[in-house]
Amino acid sequence: MAESTIESILEEKRLFNPSQEFAQQAHIKSKQEYQQLYEQAKTNPEQFWADLAEKELDWFQKWDQTLDWQPPFAKWFVGGKLNISYNCLDRHLQTWRKNKAALIWEGEPGDTRTYTYAQLHREVCLMANVLKQLGVQKGDRVAIYLPMIPEAAIAMLACARIGAPHSVVFGGFSAEALKTRLVDAEAKLVITADGGFRKDKVVSLKPEVDKALANNGAPSVENVLVVQRTEEKVQMEPGRDHWWHDLKAGVSAHCPPESMDSEDLLFILYTSGTTGKPKGVVHTTGGYNLYTHTTLKWAFDLKETDVYWCTADVGWITGHSYIVYGPLSNGATTVMYEGAPRPSNPGCLWDIVEKYGVTIFYTAPTAIRALIKMGEHHPNARDLSSLRILGTVGEPINPEAWMWYHRIIGQEKCPIVDTWWQTETGGFMITPLPGAIPTKPGSAALPFPGILADVVDLDGNPVKPNEGGYLVVKYPWPGMMRTVYGDPDRFRRTYWEHIAPKDGQYFYFAGDGARKDDDGYFWIMGRVDDVINVSGHRLGTMEVESALVSHPAVAEAAVVGRKDEMKGEEVFAFVTLEGDYQGSDDLKQELKQHVANEIGAIARPGDIRFTDALPKTRSGKIMRRLLRNLASGEEVAGDTSTLEDRSVLDKLRGG
């Protein structure tokens, strides 16, 4: 399964053509049409995006300049004014969509809520007015730390409506991780809940917020708005903490959208990098709105009658772009689920597909592998005939999982769109267009029109077909991140200097290796930096190492990724201990729990190995490559001549 190497994937020769019936009804109907669009966008990207911006979005004021490109800083639709919450809500109220289901939500215990566009608009206006009442003004940052409940989408849209950039923090992150993000963003207010339901457990959130704010941990935070979900008892600090249902009752449901500059900050979303603390990825209003809108419409062939469901969490970029903003901007019906498949209910996803007649289903390879393991009798026992398109994201999908998805879920009739993109890119970058581009299991296929993606060597020269290289983008696009919050220099260093600009050509590089095959299809090979992809979520090795060394027993730690059949990769840690500490199973457990407390359960190491010393170069750099080999039980490959002390390696091999 997950052990398929890129070589074996490259031998994958199967090709799946969209059916004629599908192609005929699609927005983009043929390879020729795609190629025409691609060429058109390549020849004049500004015109291409400007035409779409005019056609697809509502603007309060038109822009003066489509693109201002001062590498590596781009501004799109300069001078244009709009509000993304207006595009996601208000404009639909003037049409029959007013009473169309905007958001269908299912809680894990089985409770449900459906909001029409009119109802969602009302809730968003109420929350926007509550935020204003609590002193939030245009430009103030608001953190959102919620389970997968409708209020998560409502909160995001309410922030956007009043021009307060949001920073959503995944509900699975710990108090410590939340605190770091609150401090970096200087958040003025936190929107949270008592907790949520996940895999038959109550996940408490408010106590984590209390911990993050204790001892003036995040001094910028003035107020906490708490949604009642689980009805567990929580501490409410007078003057600071407020129940959403109390304040909601006292405000007006009328809240005009702020007129936002196209380049005004829409949100900050933190993601792991190779060094230091997580980076605050900055997205702005106009370009992001257009990009998520258009990519969803074309790559998922979104139609008025679709029931679209993305199983991601709103705490990740997938949830931002493709549960909330992309679908609602298009006036679609978006489904949101609080829970996850679990032993007591392994077929829950398929129940939801059947119950709501889901037509488009978007999930991650790690979820597909877990579903395979649960057995095909679960999907087989449900009516999945409503499905017409399937999507995947987060990590390379192994062809076996692709084929299962195709056969069992897609009933061999649904095109699979394997979407390659990142927090930084805002939306899909490389993806099949389902009516136009034949798919190959394991390949994300071809770049979206307007995306000049390529595979190059370190000098920026394109590599030959079927040779590995760095996946880069050679021209700005509207959905691209604008900067690292508060650290433009880090933005430049991280993304634009790995491959040096030459002759005025800049290369965006965010860490993935890839190959192109003879047909120009992209095959993503995974990260080439020190980022581990656990269940489709990015973790920086440095973050986990810092968490480990913050434990008194740990002197030094080195963390690498190890292949895992379910999760894609898991965290494997090598640890040296302080003075008198002895490595034991109990200590292993304690350290694993410590990492989970410091970052969140996704970072919990799968395994820890105690060692006397770590293999380092003479200049003191840990040789992770060797550790990766050791973790996966492989022979240590490549050059080891720079090792300072070879006996370290011999000992590690023995252990």
| 420: contact with ligand PRX by CB under 6 A | yes
Residues 497-536 that bind ligand PRX (CB under 6 A): 510-512, 524, 526-527, 533
| 418: contact with ligand PRX by CB under 6 A | yes
User: Helix (H, G, I), strand (E, B), or coil: what is residue 556?
Assistant: strand
Strand order in the sheet with 333-337: 112-116, 101-106, 333-337, 307-310, 360-363, 389-392, 416-418
Displacement of CA 242 from its chain's centroid (Å): 30
Among 172, 394, 479, 583, binds ligand PRX (CB under 6 A): 394
- Flag whether 394 is marked binding: yes
Between CA 439 and CA 23 the distance in angstroms is 13
Among 177, 444, 557, 599, binds ligand PRX (CB under 6 A): 444
Among 40, 114, 422, 576, binds ligand PRX (CB under 6 A): 422
- Shortest distance in whole angstroms from residue 526 CB to ligand PRX: 6
Residues 304-323 that bind ligand PRX (CB under 6 A): 317-318
- Shortest distance in whole angstroms from residue 480 CB to ligand PRX: 13
Select the residue whose beta carbon is closest to ligand PRX and give its number.
423
Stretch near ligand PRX under the rule CB under 6 A, chosen from 67-75, 328-336, 392-400, 540-548: 392-400
DSSP letter at 121 equals H
Please work out the total of residues on this chain that contact ligand PRX, with binding judged by CB under 6 A: 23
Backbone angles phi, psi at 288, to 5 degrees: -65, -45
Residues 538-567 that bind ligand PRX (CB under 6 A): 538
- Shortest distance in whole angstroms from residue 24 CB to ligand PRX: 27
Best CA proximity match to 155, nearest among 267, 246, 33: 267
Between CA 571 and CA 627 the distance in angstroms is 12
Return left, alpha or beta for 315; rule: phi > 0 is left, psi -120 to 50 is alpha, else beta: alpha
- Flag whether 617 is marked binding: no
Among 172, 278, 396, 568, binds ligand PRX (CB under 6 A): 396
Unique residue bearing structure tokens 């090598």: 574
Among 66, 180, 271, 285, binds ligand PRX (CB under 6 A): 271
- Shortest distance in whole angstroms from residue 564 CB to ligand PRX: 15
Stretch near ligand PRX under the rule CB under 6 A, chosen from 222-230, 335-343, 421-429, 500-508: 421-429
- Flag whether 198 is marked binding: yes
Best CA proximity match to 591, nearest among 563, 535, 552: 552
How many C-beta neighbours within 10 Å does residue 433 have?
Answer: 28
- Flag whether 624 is marked binding: no
Q: Which two tokens stand for residue 36?
A: 């025409």
Among 22, 197, 291, 421, binds ligand PRX (CB under 6 A): 421
What's the maximum distance between 2 C-alpha atoms anywhere in the chain? 74
Run of H or E including 371? helix 365-374
167 contacts 280 by C-beta, under 8 angstroms: yes
First to last CA, the chain: 28
81 contacts 261 by C-beta, under 8 angstroms: yes
- Flag whether 318 is marked binding: yes
Residue ranges of the annotated binding site for ATP are 394-396, 418-423, 512, 527, 538
Binding interface with ligand PRX (CB under 6 A): 271, 317-318, 393-396, 418-423, 444, 510-512, 524, 526-527, 533, 537-538
Residue ranges of the annotated binding site are 198-201, 318, 394-396, 418-423, 512, 527, 535, 538, 549, 551, 554
